[in-house]
Every structure is written in structure tokens, then in C-alpha cells.
Amino acid sequence: MIAHIFENRCTGCHSCVAACPTHVFDAGEGGVPVIARIDQCQTCYMCELYCEADAIYVDPDQHAAATIAPEAILEAGHAGRLRHDYGWDRPPDPDRGHLSDFWRLGPLLREGAEIAARRHALKRAQA
Ligand code: SF4
Ligand code: SF4
């Protein structure tokens, strides 16, 4: 689940707002996005991957908000680590490309789709 946006790193590009498939963010005044709907976070990591400023940390716990302190996230080098590990900070390799490693996120994205489908079914049942 998304844990933190580091305002001092954020450039206000809003790539995270555009990338989030479940509309967790509001654009926010002054450029820094606001985590407005954390309950809709499916821990897909798209916001962290698309944040070129390494200003976002998504915690791997899908079911509860992270309790790790922002200072500890930075100290451990967690912010943006996924983006670096996946090679999104490097120019595309003409033979491989960034998407060559993206399959590793498949199970997470599939679970996100299943969560969305369950929510949709629940809403329809309650209507
Ligand atoms: S992608 Fe990163 S730098 Fe851009 S608005 Fe979001 S948090 Fe800020
Ligand atoms: S982890 Fe995915 S669902 Fe959660 S805020 Fe980031 S982009 Fe949105």
C-alpha cells in the first residue's frame, strides 16, 4: 500500500496521478499530489515506477497502511528502489527494453484486477 510521498523530492510532474489505475491521488494544490483514497490502493507500484524523482514509497503490505517512518524509508534507500531495480532509471536497451522485466509484476497486477472486480460486484449487489 502506498506509504509516503516525499514533498521535498516531488517535482509536481503528476506522473503518479496519471499512472495510478485506481485514482488514489488528487492533484493537490502546489503540485505535490495528495493521497486521497488510500483504501483504493492495490499495491501495484505503478506510481513508484513512474516517479522519476524517487519521491514515492509503496510498502509491500497490501492490506494495512505502513507504519514505517519516512526517515526510515529514506535511510534504508527504499524510495524509488523498485524503479532502479527494474531498470526504469536507465535508457531503454534496444534489445530488451524496460518492459522485459515487467512480467514480474504480473501477479500483483492480476490481484489488483481481482480486487477491482470484487468491489464492482459488491457495489452492484448493494445497488
Ligand atoms: S510522480 Fe513523483 S515527482 Fe511526479 S508528482 Fe508524483 S510524487 Fe511528485
Ligand atoms: S501502488 Fe498502485 S494503486 Fe497504489 S497508489 Fe500507487 S499506483 Fe495507485
Domains in the chain: ranges and CATH: 2-126 (3.30.70)
Query: In this structure, what C-alpha cell is assigned to residue 59?
Result: 510498502
Sign of CA dihedral 10, 13, 17, 18: negative
Q: Is 106's pLDDT higher than 70? A: no
Pocket test for ligand 1, best of 8, 11, 54 (most atoms within 8 A of CB): 11
**Residue nearest (by alpha carbon) to ligand 2 atom 2:** 44
Residue 13 Cα: closest atom of ligand 1: 4
CB 95 within 8 A of CB 87: no
- Residue reference for cell 524509508: 73
Each residue's pLDDT tens digit, 47-86: 999 999 999 999 999 888 888 999 999 999 999 988 888 7
- Residue entry with cell 485514482: 23
